[in-house]
Amino acid sequence: MMRDREDPGQWHGAHIVDEQELSFSSDGQAKKRARKRQNIVFTVMALLVIAVLTGAVLVFNGTLKLGGEPTAAQSPTPSETKIENAKCPAVNFKYQKPGDVEIRVLNTTDISGLASDTAKALEERGFKISSLTSGWKSLAGTTGAVIAGPDGYAQAFTVQRQVPGTVFIYDEKKWGSRVDLALGEKYEGLEKERKLDTSDGKLVCAK
């Protein structure tokens, strides 16, 4: 009796994978990897779109501020001291490091160079000058004033120690800790550094 012809695709009962099947398997794995990469790319793009839309909404409603005044994360932490009289707090404030105080200098008079000369002197002492301008003409006949909002009490106190004779003016609409220093005709210059008092103290308020 003749022995049955063996199947060329079998070897001792096991199936032999040929080149065509290997190629098909390889193509399938490549397609799976390609789909996986596409899914990752689409996921990342979707997250970016969500982030951009969220940022746009925050900017539109004013929660997130771009440029101009510093953001809440950039602003120094407001004092935890309870303020009962916002216009003239009856509490002691700590003298701040000059490098932590930002000042906008205003010339309330017609004296040329008053703001720029003072700004230069303050910079030499380590203060940050944001800008120079004019305004508060009602203070022209005085020494001047230090103007700040609810987050700028300690900074205003620090600047006031530098400029004797100035009074503190509270501006509830002033955002952040930046201070305005308005100089009048009676301003005679900064306090001499050797006489500078850096101990805790109260603001001198306008009457």
pLDDT tens digits, one per residue of 87-135:
999 999 999 999 999 999 999 999 999 999 999 999 999 999 999 999 9
- Nearest Cα neighbor of 119 from 127, 165, 111 is 127
Rounded to two decimals, what is the model's pTM?
Answer: 0.61
What local confidence, expressed as pLDDT, does residue 207 receive? 81
Is residue 206 one of the residues assigned to a domain? no
What local confidence, expressed as pLDDT, does residue 47 receive? 81
CA angle 89, 165, 138 (to 5 degrees): 85
- 137 and 52 part of one domain: no
Our count of domains for the chain comes to 2
Q: Tens digit of pLDDT for each residue in 28-47?
A: 666 677 777 777 877 877 78
The domain that holds 124 is classified in CATH as: 3.30.70.2390
- Nearest Cα neighbor of 93 from 41, 146, 133 is 146
Domain residue limits at 158: 92-189
Name the DSSP letter for residue 100.
G
Contacts of 86 by beta carbon, 8 Å cutoff, 6+ apart: 150, 170, 172
Q: Tens digit of pLDDT for each residue in 158-192?
A: 999 999 999 999 999 998 999 999 999 999 999 99
Is residue 87 one of the residues assigned to a domain? no
- 116 and 165 part of one domain: yes
